[in-house]
Amino acid sequence: MSSGSVEQFQQSLSRLDAASTVVSPDELEATIADLADPPAIGAELPFDDLSLAETPVTLGPSPAQLRDAVTGVTGSRMGIASLGTVAVESREEGDEFVALYPERHVVVIKASDLRSDLADAFGWIRGEFEADRQSFILATGPSSTGDMGALVQGVHGPEQVHIVIVRDNE
């Protein structure tokens, strides 16, 4: 399975009007603190070595916090370089809500988890399905609609998307 390049992923994101930042693992907490316009909520990251615990985001928010949050931070275990897509997993941590309610969605993804294209991504998805992890949303850029007479971003989902790509430890 070929892996996608960070450069291509970032190019795709800029086409989608989505921001991106590349950081080393050490820089992650400071970067999240920077990007998380308060009030911010989060779903704990699906990685052993990275966590939101030390960042100014509220994990497992209350309904009121969910509704008031400006920023939502989630992790993603798969991104598609050619499309700028990230996978949001349906987990007990509530990623789905954290990714949908706030107007800004910050996504943490590892550079090594990038796939090159949709075909490559489907290889990964098939593997996940076999391992009984079977609910993902492939999210590409901010939510949008043309139904009101012009293209508008931020409908039922986020208006801004910011992807934080974590470089791998050498």
Partner 1 sequence: MSESEQLDADRIRTLLESEGDEIKENTRLFNAERYDAVEAVGEAEHEDNRSRAREIKEDAIERLPELVDRTREAVEANGGTVYVADDAADANRYISEVADDADADSVVKSKSMTTEEIDLNEALEADGLDVWETDLGEFVVQIAEEAPSHIVGPSLHKSREEITELFEREFDPDESLDSAEKLTAFAREYLGGRIDDAEVGVTGANFVMADSGSIALVTNEGNARKCASIPDTHVAVAGIEKIIPSVAELEPFAELISRSATGQEIPQYLSLLTPPVDTPAIDFDSEDEPGFGNSDADREFHLVLLDNGRREMREDDDLRETLYCIRCGACANSCANFQSVGGHAFGGETYTGGIATGWEAGIEGNDVAEEFNDLCTGCSRCVNACPVKIDIPWINTVVRDRINRGKDPGFDDMLVDGLMPDEEESGTPLRKRFFGNFETAAKIGSATAPLSNAVASTGLARKAMESVLGVDARRDLPEFERTTLRDWAEGRESPVEAPERRVALYPDVYTNYVQTERGKAAVRVLEALGCEVVVPDVGGSGRAPLSQGMIATAERKAEDVAESVLPYVEDGYDVVVVEPSDLAMFRREYEKLLPAEEHERIDQGSYEILEYVFGLLENGASADALPGGDGDGVAYHSHCQQRTLGLESYTETVLERLGYDVLTSDVECCGMAGSFGYKSEYYDLSMDVGATLADQFEAVADERTVVASGTSCMEQLDSLLSPGTRHPVELLDPAGR
Binding site for partner 1 (CB under 8 A): 60-67, 83, 85, 90-92, 94-97, 100, 118-119, 122, 125-126, 129, 134-152, 154-158
CA distance 135 to 115: 18
By beta-carbon proximity to partner 1, the closer residue of 112 and 122 is: 122
Q: Do the beta carbons of residue 33 and residue 55 sit within 8 Å?
A: yes
Question: What's the closest the beta carbon of residue 93 comes to partner 1, in angstroms?
Answer: 8
By beta-carbon proximity to partner 1, the closer residue of 93 and 113 is: 93
Question: What's the closest the beta carbon of residue 151 comes to partner 1, in angstroms?
Answer: 8
Question: What's the closest the beta carbon of residue 137 comes to partner 1, in angstroms?
Answer: 5
By beta-carbon proximity to partner 1, the closer residue of 150 and 169 is: 150
CA 165 to chain CA centroid, nearest Å: 10
Q: What are phi and psi of 73, to 5 degrees?
A: -115, 125
Specify the DSSP class assigned to residue 146. -
Pairing of strands 104-110, 71-76: parallel
By beta-carbon proximity to partner 1, the closer residue of 24 and 135 is: 135
By beta-carbon proximity to partner 1, the closer residue of 3 and 122 is: 122
CA distance 65 to 98: 10
CA distance 34 to 41: 14
Q: What are phi and psi of 80, to 5 degrees?
A: -115, 115
CA distance 161 to 150: 20
Question: What's the closest the beta carbon of residue 148 comes to partner 1, in angstroms?
Answer: 4
Question: What's the closest the beta carbon of residue 168 comes to partner 1, in angstroms?
Answer: 26
